[in-house]
Each structure stands twice: as C-alpha cells, then as structure tokens.
C-alpha cells in the first residue's frame, strides 16, 4: 500500500483517540505503521500468521520508534486472525485480495462479533451479509496497481 493513499483512505472514517485499529493479515505491518504515525488512536494491532513477517514488522517498528518517539504503540501478533479475539476493534482493515468465497464467509462471521458502529475497510472483496452497511466504495492506488476499497459499518 502507498502511504499517502492509505492515510487518505483512513481519513474517510475519521479515526478518534479512543479507536482501536486491527489489521487482519498485517503482512509486513505497513498499515499499522502508517496509522500509528499519522493518527492518535488508543491501540494498534497487526495480526499475521507468517512468523517471518511478524518478526520483520516488529524489527521495522522498533527502528521507526527510535526516529519517531510520538508513534503509537503497535502490537504485532503471530496468530491466525480467524482464531483470535478481535472484538475490541473499532476499526478493522483487511486486504482481502487472496481470500476465496469460503474464507470470506468465515471472515464475515468473525466480524459479526464486532461492536455496532465498528468500521471495516475491505480491499478488493465485498461482504454479502446485511449486518454490514456499505458506506463508501472507490479506488485506491497500491504498489502493484489500483484496487477497490469498501468502507462498511457494523449495524
């Protein structure tokens, strides 16, 4: 994801100081780093199943923290987000390009446990469950091209 594009996308949901951001499938942690640098929010959590990515995310975060002391704390967890409790999240980011229909169904079921009003930013896919209200849809530039984003609110 391109830093500036991600920040503009996050601005659309107007994050507040009491928000808790979860990046499901956080990869190398770029969205977590970006939101931590650009916004003051309560908590930032990246959940990634690949140990090498989690290790790299933690290392990069420590380096960034040495330069930008004001950065929010970030917790990078080596876990399967489908098996992790994410109910405290008020903002969820999910780059869903690689998930098939059956995985998306599991993800939707997982997100049903979020509080009413929670915001979900979904890249490339769409939800089929009426419990999520589509607020905005558009395009966002990525390092590899352009992707569709959808912003949902949990009803």
Looking at residue 111, which CATH number applies to its domain? 3.40.50.150
The answer to whether position 16 is within a domain reads: no
Roughly how many angstroms between the first and final C-alpha of the chain, as a whole number? 28
Q: What mean pLDDT do residues 28-47 have?
A: 96
User: Whole-number mean pLDDT of the chain?
Assistant: 95
CB atoms within 10 A of CB 98: 9
What's the rounded Cα separation, in Å, for the pair 15 and 97?
A: 24
146, two tokens: 């352009």
Whether 15 is covered by a domain: the verdict is no
Do you know the residue count of the chain?
155
pLDDT digits (tens, 9 = 90+) for 57-108: 999 999 999 999 889 999 999 999 999 999 999 999 999 988 889 999 999 9
In-domain check, residue 19: no
Which DSSP string do the residues of 24-83 spell out, in sequence order? ET-TT-HHHHHHHHH---SEEEEEES-HHHHHHHHHHHHHHHHH-TTPPPEEEEES-GGG
Q: Is residue 49 part of a domain?
A: yes
- pLDDT given at position 25: 96
For residues 108 and 149, give the distance between their C-alpha atoms in angstroms, rounded to a whole number. 16
Model-wide pTM > 0.85: yes
Reply yes or no on whether the pLDDT at 20 is more than 90.
Answer: yes
Check pLDDT > 90 for residue 145.
no
Query: Domain residues for 69?
Result: 3-10+25-145
Does 69 map to a domain?
A: yes
Q: How many domains does the chain have?
A: 1
Does 48 map to a domain?
Answer: yes
- Which pLDDT does position 36 carry in this prediction? 96
What pLDDT sits at residue 128? 87
Characterize the bridge pairing of strands 145-154 and 119-123.
antiparallel
Q: How large is the average pLDDT for residues 122-130? A: 91
């Amino acid at each position: 994801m391109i830093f500036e594009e991600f920040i503009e996308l996050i601005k659309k949901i107007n994050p507040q100081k009491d928000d808790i951001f979860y990046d499901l499938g956080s990869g190398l942690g770029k969205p977590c780093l970006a939101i931590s640098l650009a916004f003051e929010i309560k908590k930032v959590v990246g959940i990634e199943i690949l140990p090498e990515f989690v290790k790299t995310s933690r290392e990069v975060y420590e380096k960034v923290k040495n330069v930008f002391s004001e950065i929010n704390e970030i917790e990078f967890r080596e876990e399967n987000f489908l098996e992790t409790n994410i109910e405290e999240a008020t903002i969820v980011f999910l780059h869903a390009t690689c998930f098939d229909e059956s995985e998306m169904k599991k993800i939707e079921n997982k997100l049903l446990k979020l509080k009413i009003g929670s915001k979900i930013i979904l890249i490339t896919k769409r939800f089929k469950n009426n419990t999520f209200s589509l607020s905005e849809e558009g395009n966002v530039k990525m390092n590899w091209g352009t992707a569709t984003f959808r912003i949902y609110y949990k009803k």
